Structure 1
Amino acid sequence: MLQQIYPQVAHPYSYELNKDMNFAAAHFVPHESAGKCQQVHGHTYFVNLTIAGDELDSSGFLVNFARLKKIVSGQFDHTLLNDHKELFNEEDANDFPTSEVIARKIYELVQAHLDELENKPACVQVFVRETPTSYVVYRPKKVKRDE
């Protein structure tokens, strides 16, 4: 994978982990203003997750890289994103499989896993590149902190 510099997000944590991954998937955007994107087509999506926290787990990790890859690439690689009905639908624009929504859904999946961990790390940014010239960044408005 080509190394790349990603937008950085300010956060109050001591540790920051970044995990790059990719997956090949098809999708279509079910809206008349989507133009050619209304048709089924595919991309090789490049994803970067930024995870932050103050505590390491019992193995010395903030979070296991392999688990993050399984949550994202393991779920979406070589699929039609529209078929993930638990995540995407054709009725609500907030759930169409656009790059923006894909980034938010990845955040939700990753954060749900992180919430189960004893050290309670937080996903502070999800970067999704759909094409060589187009990407989106999703950052939750409020980062979860274990107070």
Structure 2
Amino acid sequence: MIGKYHLIKNFWIACAHQVYGAGKCERVHGHNYKVTFCIEGTQLDEQHMLIDYRVIKEAIINKYDHHLLNEFPEFNPELGGVSPTTERVAEIFFVEIDRLCKEKSNHPTVSWIEVQETEEATVRFERMVT
């Protein structure tokens, strides 16, 4: 192989959250998050894809779409999770995409994810290069 593939995909998801200690954001409110991610790899699977991005989209949408994020253990500090700030939403979604990539025999990797909360605010979470 002489090159590397980069799959960049975005989708929308509607979620509510409550961020304690954040002024008016302490009240339950919602966002239409735009989620964009990049998967990289040098090998394609048997379908000639890095990963079927529908698997990623469905995993996140099926779990979180039209839900209050604070109700999930991973977003509930009282249950050992983290506060559902946009930074943490990006991190948790990254971890889920990473898990799905690790299940693939061609070993793609997620390099970054962006979660756009509003027109003015986007968070990017990236894999650390070691």
Q: What TM-score do you get using the length of structure 2 for normalisation? A: 0.92
Inter-partner Cα distance in structure 2 for 1:45 and 1:98: 12
Q: Choose the corresponding residue for 2:88, options 87, 96, 101.
A: 101
Measured on the aligned residues, the alpha-carbon RMSD in Å equals 1.8
Q: Using the TM superposition, give the Cα deviation of residue 91 of structure 1 relative to its aligned residue in structure 2, in angstroms.
A: 4.5
Q: What TM-score do you get using the length of structure 1 for normalisation? A: 0.82
Q: Using the TM superposition, give the Cα deviation of residue 74 of structure 1 relative to its aligned residue in structure 2, in angstroms.
A: 2.1
Tell whether the 8 Å contact from 1:29 to 1:38 is kept in structure 2 after alignment. Answer: yes
Identity of aligned residues (%): 33
1:15 corresponding residue in structure 2: 5
1:59 corresponding residue in structure 2: 47
**Which ranges of structure 1 fall in alignment gaps of 5 or more residues?**
1-12
Is 1:127 the equivalent of 2:114?
A: yes
Number of equivalent positions? 128
Tell whether the 8 Å contact from 1:21 to 1:73 is kept in structure 2 after alignment. Answer: no
Q: Using the TM superposition, give the Cα deviation of residue 68 of structure 1 relative to its aligned residue in structure 2, in angstroms.
A: 1.2
2:37 is paired with a residue of what secondary structure?
strand
State the one-letter code of the partner of 2:101.
L
**Which ranges of structure 2 fall in alignment gaps of 5 or more residues?**
none
Q: Using the TM superposition, give the Cα deviation of residue 49 of structure 1 relative to its aligned residue in structure 2, in angstroms.
A: 0.8
Inter-partner Cα distance in structure 2 for 1:44 and 1:53: 30
Inter-partner Cα distance in structure 2 for 1:45 and 1:136: 11
2:7 is paired with a residue of what secondary structure?
strand
Q: Please show how residues 82-101 of structure 1 align to structure 2 within 5 Å.
A: 82-85=70-73, 87-91=74-78, 95-101=82-88
2:105 is paired with a residue of what secondary structure?
coil
Inter-partner Cα distance in structure 1 for 2:65 and 2:93: 13
Runs of 4+ in 1 over 3 A off after TM superposition: none
